[in-house]
Amino acid sequence: MLKKLFQSFRSPLRKPQQHVRTTPEVLSSSQHSLQRNQFSRYAVNIVERLQTAGYQAYLVGGCVRDMMLGITPKDFDVATSATPEQIRAEFRNARIIGRRFKLVHIHFGREIIEVATFRANHPIDDEDEDSNQSSRNESGRILRDNVYGTLEDDAQRRDFTINALYYDPVTERVLDYANGVHDIRNRLIRLIGDPQQRYKEDPVRMLRAVRFAAKLDFGIEKHSATPIRPLAPMLRDIPSARLFEEVLKLFLSGYAEATFEMLVDLELFEPLFPASSKALEYNPTYTHTLISEALANTDLRIKQNKPVTPAFLFAALLWPALPARVLRLQERGMPPIPAMQEAAHELITEQCQRIAIPKRFTLPIREIWDMQERLPRRSGKRADLLLENPRFRAGYDFLLLRESAGEETDGLGEWWTEYQDANDSGRRDMIRDLGSKPDATGQGPRKRRRSSSGKRKRAGVDGSE
């Protein structure tokens, strides 16, 4: 309480923040397009009950923004003046989650509504009174943001103006503290406050700007876009586990292709994927085509409600960075296959220092890559064994991806397409015909392997040097 008083007393003395009001613009039901019954009835009930109990409560964030744009929200978030304990006292189906910053999840069957207590930003020059730790590091990054605040504080600590709209389903009014409605109408992503400072507080906001710009097809307002390139390297200091979560959101939300273009343009791709970014420099056409095609496929699958695996995505994002490493190891005298294995291992290990890809995905990445070495070797029973491999489909799709990016594989993708469609005798014929091809792969193990290894190496990692 004292702290809150202290903050509100001090706030007029602080540098004036752009775009934030202390009194919001209030839009009545006739001034906006939102309708109470479009929102999750559970979320609306929660707001009503909290208000009846004497607290302030609103629907907030992505759901209000998306509804205004006619997009179906992913989920519904509630912000309230009630503390987590007070919220839990009102709802039997509520669980407090998170240790340092507590949130409440209220469960209704499979639907979960997240209810958060209004929060405030740590002011720049405010040292935590109960400890001698600072809430920010030397570059201004917020290390802890676990302070409760007022509704106004809560609006101010949010990232973008379009994410700081509060909808009261009881009065059907929208509270707009930061000109968010104006920016929605003009299709602009604009940070609340001083962009440079807000990015420094949390560099992940640069990725969020790109994510929302791609998802909503919005532009990034000039002053919010300009600091991104110079500040992009700050992403190197973000914990790799958080970046993994963010990168999944960037590439698995159905707008990955546009997101990738924007990340490259704003120089945010380099701190996330340094090796792939190098490949984009020394082999731009191939690298760009392969990654874009993979992302376009992912977007399409998401639109069709088909499953997508992060492993395939990471396999594609990193693949163009492999050949240079394979070559380097080969130049040191390592044979092609071990060089490929070692390069894959090194690349994934390095990448995980930036983005903590969990083991359950790194293993399948390796399998998809290994499959590229095995797909050309089809003789005898090999083709049928490969077909039974649970990773065959991903490996085959990956082969087609490489071909569409311009890799020369001597019709291997088409061969496999035909093979899958053929009946037993057709398949036997196809295998027999392989023997007559000059580059038939893998018949007499030793000799053939040596004579075809150059070819196979190329089939595996070519098109990139």
Q: Quick check: 176 binds ligand ATP (CB under 6 A)?
A: no
Q: Quick check: 211 binds Mg ion (CB under 5 A)?
A: no
Q: Quick check: 62 binds Mg ion (CB under 5 A)?
A: yes
- Would you call 176 a catalytic residue per the annotation? no
Distance between CA atoms of 251 and 295, rounded to whole angstroms?
7
> Of these, 10, 14, 41, 74, which contacts ligand ATP (CB under 6 A)?
74
Contact 276, 321 (CB under 8 A): yes
Q: Nearest approach, Cβ of 204 to ligand ATP (angstroms)?
A: 5
Contact 73, 42 (CB under 8 A): no
**Residue nearer to ligand ATP on the CB measure, 145 or 342:** 145
**Which does residue 158 touch among ligand ATP, Mg ion, none (CB within 5 to 8 A, set by kind)?**
ligand ATP
Contact 330, 339 (CB under 8 A): yes
**Residue nearer to Mg ion on the CB measure, 62 or 84:** 62
**Residue nearer to Mg ion on the CB measure, 44 or 234:** 44
Number of residues that bind ligand ATP (CB under 6 A): 11
- 284, 319, 313, 279: which is closest to 298 by C-alpha? 313
Please tell me which residue in 66, 75, 194, 462 is annotated as part of the active site.
75
Beta-bridged to residue 142, according to DSSP, are: 136
> Of these, 7, 20, 47, 61, which contacts ligand ATP (CB under 6 A)?
61
Contact 365, 315 (CB under 8 A): yes
Distance between CA atoms of 250 and 178, rounded to whole angstroms?
25
Q: Quick check: 320 binds ligand ATP (CB under 6 A)?
A: no
Q: Quick check: 62 binds ligand ATP (CB under 6 A)?
A: yes
Q: Quick check: 163 binds ligand ATP (CB under 6 A)?
A: yes
Beta-sheet pairing, 77-80 with 219-220: unpaired
- Would you call 237 a catalytic residue per the annotation? no
**Residue nearer to ligand ATP on the CB measure, 158 or 325:** 158
Q: Quick check: 60 binds Mg ion (CB under 5 A)?
A: no
- From residue 288, alpha-carbon distances to 263, 264, 343, 410 in Å are 12, 10, 21, 22
3-class secondary structure for 165-196? EEEECCCCEEEECCCHHHHHHCCEECECCCHH
What residues contact 74, with CB distance under 8 A and at least 6 apart?
62, 66
Distance between CA atoms of 8 and 13, rounded to whole angstroms?
10
**Residue nearer to ligand ATP on the CB measure, 74 or 345:** 74
Q: Quick check: 204 binds ligand ATP (CB under 6 A)?
A: yes
Q: What single letter denotes the amino acid at residue 231?
A: L
**Which does residue 115 touch among Mg ion, ligand ATP, none (CB within 5 to 8 A, set by kind)?**
none
- Would you call 384 a catalytic residue per the annotation? no
- Phi and psi angles of residue 386, each rounded to the nearest 5 degrees, phi first: -60, -40
> Of these, 88, 173, 200, 205, which contacts ligand ATP (CB under 6 A)?
205
Tell me the residue nearest to ligand ATP as measured from the CB. 62
Burial class (CB in 10 A: 0-12, 13-18, 19+), 13: exposed
From the list 15-23, 127-135, 197-205, 421-429, the region that binds ligand ATP by CB under 6 A is: 197-205
Q: Quick check: 191 binds ligand ATP (CB under 6 A)?
A: no
What residues contact 197, with CB distance under 8 A and at least 6 apart?
124, 140
Please tell me which residue in 126, 159, 202, 370 is annotated as part of the active site.
159
> Of these, 24, 50, 59, 77, which contacts ligand ATP (CB under 6 A)?
77
Distance from the Cα of residue 294 to its chain's centroid: 15
From the list 46-54, 94-102, 156-164, 231-239, the region that binds ligand ATP by CB under 6 A is: 156-164
Q: In 10 A of CB 283, how many CB atoms?
A: 18
Give, as one character, the DSSP assignment of residue 38. Answer: G
Q: Quick check: 67 binds Mg ion (CB under 5 A)?
A: no
Residues that bind ligand ATP (CB under 6 A): 61-62, 74, 77, 158-159, 163-164, 202, 204-205
Catalogue the active-site residues: 75, 77, 159
Residues that bind Mg ion (CB under 5 A): 62
